[in-house]
Chain A
């Protein structure tokens, strides 16, 4: 870790004028500083900023500094969002980590995190060892020659499913961006991960009101039961009437370079009967365009199966057999 200057602005105006790397819970930033992946000269601790509040009166409004654990256990939060949060990281981390920081968390690709290796995302133009190396955890959708890392956030997948937006503040004023448009595909410039402009600060996360999203769930498939990133995850909300799907929201994680909305699956679900067969038919479209690597081919089938599982679990009257 290299030495740095630490300041602690108390207003948004001071923060955006301060031109330093923002520190919220520090669970990504400090980690990567210790690994010398991030080497900021100036760190701004933003925890004193008034970016708090969980408001469920009309949809959902979250202050960017709300902790993951507080959002997860707030009663008015859509199940797909609290489910995604509760299956993220560990309780200790969720108690520290902010929801704004979560959306800005960096890649978990082991080459990105190891400065002794090449990585286009960390060191543009240096190459991508994951393409031919250890890529079991990597993406099958939205990849490029330059980068195949997945986007690691769970809650971003849920937010993208529900058309979540973020408010960004800068010296020039504030703007709102749909989260889905915020994240950039890696293309030739994987180091440009999102649409955040220099100095911009996420102040708020907004989810438009969607009453039927109370019927939603987040299914996360991983190599151990807790405290692990997704091999594949599905955020699903369903509007079901008379045993038919009226409307659906489906997004997936762990398989794509950005949180991945499955609009084709949503379209196929609209009007479909609530049956396993119909779900399988719709989910068959989930992996369209997938390009597997040497060790992650299984994610293509897993992706379809995870979507089916989430749809089934959401429409089963009685949750079945899973232990505790």
Chain B
């Protein structure tokens, strides 16, 4: 295992990394987005005269005078909504106009002068109040139907299986709408020249943004150049191309000048997309020894009126535990709320809150240690599939974790430390190991360095450094000789940041590209007239060897009069999918303290032990897991968007939308059990971007229960949930 400081860290901490909106171009204009103040209705009229006449204003666009944009569609993300194309308003804070002026302040001031007249209709914004509108969710991205029933031989229904179970627990869980709240707000700088369009904008994959913009603007993808070498956090919220990118690109085309557009922090909450709210009902039936007999998991999630995304929470129950009888269903409730989309561990994060809380409730009902219960029911593969896990060391995670955490000191009713009630909780984390088709290019240069390039992104994940490490490994040279390059649509497509896939996808493609470029190098070396003409050559340690001599690849290229040679390599999911199922696993632990008088719950210790295949860069990997676990604490105790009856967000800014601060987060301990999973991909890495958040909220809730005896089945858990249950 290697530990390497991120190679882009010095640039970032000294402010030299140029993010999308750090680009300032000569003659650049500034755009400001105007958003709706109703959640459902039609725009009847828009008076933009005052805005147009305001100082510095160059243009005002609205649905009455729109910038033409088409709806892009991609296989992974489906349709992406584009603004200003019609007069209907489907949520509060929807972009309805775009004001472009010479300065940002002028654009913002003028935007306040835009008068919108609405024909307002009542809004539906509450998930709980609108369950009668629930629709069956479409199949998931993996093609699995959203409703699935698996029954043991002779069992008629899940109800029968549960009715026949000696011990049954049942619960209704809920999780709120969440916003990614990435540090960098969605923003873009766009300009057109003879080569077409260039857009600087943080995104999860330059090639995705290129495809979206080309489709939206109806131009050939080759005429669209997207640039996002640095991304200030994404977490799923920058998968789809953003409203500022579409508007800046279209406005720049119309005006013939560069245009910059950025959302305000408040607008990020409404004009991008959020994690849906969920409601989940779980019933678990077990034998007295804890063996599961039946699992039922029914889920509802909120969605915008276009149903742009489903939060597949019931899917969590397909993979975590072995059960002879399983029934899961997934419904979606369209509401007048901001758009919904992927957020770190979509499905698994809120789904595991419900399932892992329910498992804790079952352990209590059985009077059994929660770890023992989980180990007893470990899954061999997904429910209803014959394909077993390629590699699974969850038991080790629990064993090592229990030891490291001091789990043996836990009592069923917690402990006391002065005025603090102290509890411990645990939960299982599961996240699928996936890969996307990816192409990378490797260029060997005459100065003995190499470029490794892919169009994906590193939104803080550490992919850039991973590329240097894996590139060095594949070329058998030192890391300092590799220049990894990301974030230009000019580079080959792949390495999108999403689904915890980037290391496995890019790493596999690097292996392929390296073998292609080294093959070419060797054939050039032994070609007629070349230094090793007619000889058998091999390659090792950055050198071509043959006939008892060796040359570095740089020396060889120089001798051949070549500056560089390049090759691309591609890799993607294939045959392995017919042989095994693939997943990462982990065991989450936490200790929570609840004040006996005032009920604040504070996490005092955390540990996650993860089985995620090979860990390529220990330091960055730990940061990834820590970040995920901290987000789990945030979900458990702080975060949640409150959408009012009229669709307004009650806390749509960083004053009201609480995230933990440093004082809320103790030392976070992360440990890896390392078993490279080469059945999944040649690098053996399974992906770590999302699993850290999975299960953590439940571990906190379970610790709160252990400390106080109060079971809270929603997040965030706040003081009012605990006060009544505290001792006087």
| Chain A residues in the interface with B (C-beta under 8 A) | 1-2, 36, 108, 110, 113-114, 116-117, 133-134, 136, 219, 221-228, 231-232, 280, 297-298, 301-302, 305-306, 308-309, 312, 320-323
Contacts and interface: CB of A to CB of B under 8 A. Distances in A.
Shortest 4 CB-CB distances between A and B: which pairs? A320-B418, A321-B418, A134-B650, A298-B720
Contacts of B112: 36
Contacts of A232: 598
Given A2-B109, A312-B419, A321-B419, A223 B638 contact: yes
8 contacts: A116-B37, A223-B719, A225-B663, A225-B664, A228-B661, A298-B719, A322-B418, A323-B602
Nearest to B634: A224
Interface string B584-620: 0000000001010111101010000000000000000
B723 A134 contact: no
Interface string B706-728: 00000000000011100110001
Contacts of A228: 658, 661
A224 B660 contact: yes
A280 B593 CA distance: 23
Contact of B598 (A114, A136, A305, A321): A305
Given A1-B109, A305-B598, A321-B417, A110 B723 contact: no
Nearest to A135: B650
B395 interface: no
B159 to A, nearest CB: 37
B728 A280 contact: yes
A223 B718 contact: yes
Interface size class of B (residues with CB under 8 A): 35 or more
A226 B661 contact: yes
Nearest to B666: A323
B651 A226 contact: no
A218 B599 CA distance: 17
Contacts of A302: 598-599, 719-720, 723
Q: Is the interface of B mostly helix, strand, loop or mixed?
A: loop
Given A1-B105, A1-B109, A2-B109, 16 more contacts: A108-B655, A110-B656, A116-B648, A133-B645, A223-B718, A224-B658, A224-B661, A225-B664, A227-B661, A227-B663, A228-B658, A302-B723, A309-B419, A309-B598, A321-B418, A321-B420
Contact of A133 (B637, B644, B724): B644
Nearest to B38: A116
A70 to B, nearest CB: 22
B102 interface: no
With most chain B CB atoms within 10 A of its CB, the pick from A222, A223, A297 is A223
Contacts of B718: 223
A306 B418 contact: no
Contacts of A221: 598-600, 719
B662 interface: yes
Q: Is the interface of A mostly helix, strand, loop or mixed?
A: loop
Nearest to A322: B420
A110 B719 contact: no
A125 to B, nearest CB: 20
B396 interface: no
Contacts of B108: 1
B651 to A, nearest CB: 6
B607 to A, nearest CB: 16
Interface in B69-102: none
B42 interface: no
Nearest to A319: B418
Contact of B723 (A108, A219, A223, A305): A305
A312 B662 CA distance: 27
B604 A323 contact: yes
Contacts of B105: 1
A133 B723 contact: no
A298 B723 contact: yes
B663 A312 contact: no
Given A133-B650, A298-B723, A305 B420 contact: no
A201 B518 CA distance: 77
A322 B419 contact: yes
B184 interface: no
B473 interface: no
Interface in B641-678: 642, 644-645, 648, 650-651, 655-656, 658, 660-664, 666
A113 B651 CA distance: 11
B597 A305 contact: yes
Contacts of A227: 661, 663
B374 to A, nearest CB: 28
Interface in B417-453: 417-420
Contacts of A113: 655
Given A312-B597, A321-B417, A322-B420, A224 B719 contact: no
A48 B572 CA distance: 66
Contacts of B418: 320-322
B663 A134 contact: no
Contacts of A321: 417-420, 593
A226 B664 CA distance: 8
A317 B24 CA distance: 61
Contacts of A225: 600, 602, 661, 663-664
